[in-house]
Structure 1
C-alpha cells in the first residue's frame, strides 16, 4: 500500500526532482500540492497550507519544497497537525528554528527529516568507506556553477536566509561532513557580495582539521561554462576525487567500480525511500552540521563587495 503525501511549493526543484521521485515510488501517492502559482495535473491543489491540513486528514506526510525563510511556519503547522515532515535543504533559515522543530517533532512523536540530497549521490558512500582508514593530508572543495542556469529569476536566493552561493555550497559540505571520519570546524572565510544583493556570489572557506590537514573550499556562482562540483582529498594512500557532485569516484585518476547496495537510482528517490523508513521506524534524522558551517561563515567571514549582479 502507498502512503499519501502532500508536496508544498511547486517550483523548479519540485518539478525537476520531487515530483518525479514521488510519482515513480511504490511507497508514495502524491495526494495534494500546496502552491499559489503552480499545480500538478490530476492532483488536488491548495493555495493555503492550513486548508490542506484541515481538509485532508488522510495525508500523514508533508514534504516542504519552499524557500528556507517561510519554512519554519509551514513545518510548525504540519507538526501541530500531527503530520510527519520532510524538509528540503537547507532545513531552515536559522539553526534555532530547526532545533525548535526538532523538539516539537519529538514531543509529538512524529518523524522529521532534514534532507541533504547530495549525500545520496551515487558514489558518496563509497568515498566515505575509502577515506575511513586513510590519513588525510589535504582536502579541497571546488564548487562552481552558473547561477543564471540553476536559479533563473529566483530572487529569494539573494535575500537574507537565501544563502546565495552557499545554497549549492551547502551540498558540498553535506558530503564532506558525511565522508570525513573526523569533524571539522570553520577557521576563516571571505565572502564576495554583489553591491546590489544581500548574500554572497562567491566565497572561500578555510577549515580546521583535528590532525592538522589542510581543508578548504572555493564556491562561485559565476561559472558560465564547465560546471565544477569536485571534492579532492590527498591522503597517505593516494588521491581521491569525487566529481559531478558525488556521482563519480576516482582514486589516483582511476575510476573505481562501485557495487551499489541500494537499487534506487537518483538522489531524490533515495531521499523519499529514507523518509518512508524513518516513519516506519518512528525515527527522525536532523543533522545540522552542514548548516552550522555555513552560518559560521556568515559569522566569521570577511565581506568583500563586488560589482552588481544583473540577471
Structure 2
C-alpha cells in the first residue's frame, strides 16, 4: 500500500518538535511538503508559502496536518476538504464550535477524513486509566494543570488573542483526558477566570464541574507556575485513588505506578492513518465545549499585566 502523502501546514514549535518526527517514524506517511510564509522548511522537502499554492501547483498531497493558530484554521481546512484532501486538526480543532461543526459536515460531503487530534488522550497512562475507571464509582476528581507560559509558549502573541484560549490552551489537554476517562459526562457549575489587564485571554482559572451523578470535579489552571510544572488528575473512587501525572504519561493506581514512553504523536498519526484507510472521521468537540462553557458562565477578574 502506498504511503499517504502529507503536508505540514504551519512550521512552528509543535510542528518541528512533534509532527515532523512522528511522520518520519510512521511508514504509513510520507512528508510531501511543508507550508509556511514565515519559515524556510526543511532540507530535501518542497516548501511553499501558502496552502493555496500547494493545492494549485503541487506537489500532490493526500492529507494535510494543520499546525497553525486556531484562528486561521477554518479557512485552511475548508480549502483542503473542498479538494477531497484529508485534514488533521491540531488541538484545539478550531476557534469556535460552530466552525468545527461546519468542517465536519464539509468533510462528510467531500468523502474526506477529518481528525480533531487530542494528543493528551494518547499519553501512555490514559487508556489504562479509562479501563480501570470503567467499573469504579467515582467520588471526586481534582485537576491541577499549572505551567510557565514563558517556557512553553514564548513569543506566541496569538495565544492571548480571542480564539487563542489563553491558559485553556494547555488546560484543554486536561479536559481532553478527563472527558475520555471519566465514566459520566460533566458540566460547569461555577468558576473564575483571571485575565491580565493587557491581554484578551485568561492566565488562570478556578473551575468547579459536576457530573451527571452529582460528583464534584475541580480544575485549577495557572500559567504563572515556576519551578516544577504540574499536570495532574487525581480521581477518588470506591476502590482507592487513581492519579495521572506528567500530563497522562505516568499512571498511579492502588496497586502501584506505571511509567511508559511518550508516544502521543505516534499514536495520533497511527489513528489518522486508520481513519483515512477506512474512510472515517473523528471529531470530538467535548473538551472545547467545556472551555466555551467556562467563557460563558465563569466570572471574570482583572489581574496585573502580563509581559514576557
**Do Structure 1 and Structure 2 share a fold, with TM-score over 0.5?**
yes
Question: 1-side partners of 2:283 and 2:19: how far apart?
Answer: 19
User: Is 1:283 aligned to 2:276, yes or no?
Assistant: no
Q: What is residue 213 of structure 2 aligned with on the other side?
A: 211
Note the 1:120-269 alignment, pairs <5 A.
120-252=122-254, 254-256=256-258, 266-269=263-266
Q: What is residue 297 of structure 1 aligned with on the other side?
A: 294
Query: Is the partner of 2:247 in helix, strand or coil?
Result: coil
**Residue among 84, 92, 115 paired with 1:90:** 92
Pair 218,265 (structure 1): closer, same or farther in 2 beyond 3 Å = closer
In the TM superposition, residue 256 of structure 1 has moved relative to its aligned partner by 4.2
Gaps of 5+ in 2: none
Q: What is residue 3 of structure 2 aligned with on the other side?
A: 2
Q: What is residue 273 of structure 1 aligned with on the other side?
A: 270
2:70·2:163 contact (CA, 8 Å) conserved in 1?
yes
Pair 256,14 (structure 1): closer, same or farther in 2 beyond 3 Å = closer
In the TM superposition, residue 245 of structure 1 has moved relative to its aligned partner by 0.4
1:136-174 Cα shifts (integer Å, max 9, x gaps)? 111000000000000000000100000000000000000
* Backbone CA RMSD of aligned residues: 1.3
Pair 60,257 (structure 1): closer, same or farther in 2 beyond 3 Å = closer
2:174·2:247 contact (CA, 8 Å) conserved in 1?
yes
Question: 2-side partners of 1:302 and 1:178: how far apart?
Answer: 27
In the TM superposition, residue 9 of structure 1 has moved relative to its aligned partner by 0.1
Question: 1-side partners of 2:251 and 2:64: how far apart?
Answer: 34
In the TM superposition, residue 56 of structure 1 has moved relative to its aligned partner by 2.1
In the TM superposition, residue 253 of structure 1 has moved relative to its aligned partner by 7.7
Taking structure 2 as the reference length, the TM-score comes to 0.97
Query: Is the partner of 1:245 in helix, strand or coil?
Result: helix
Taking structure 1 as the reference length, the TM-score comes to 0.96
Q: Which runs of 4+ in 1 moved over 2 A?
A: none
Question: 2-side partners of 1:231 and 1:296: how far apart?
Answer: 20
Q: What is residue 261 of structure 1 aligned with on the other side?
A: none
Gaps of 5+ in 1: 259-263
Aligned residues: 306
User: Is 1:308 aligned to 2:305, yes or no?
Assistant: yes
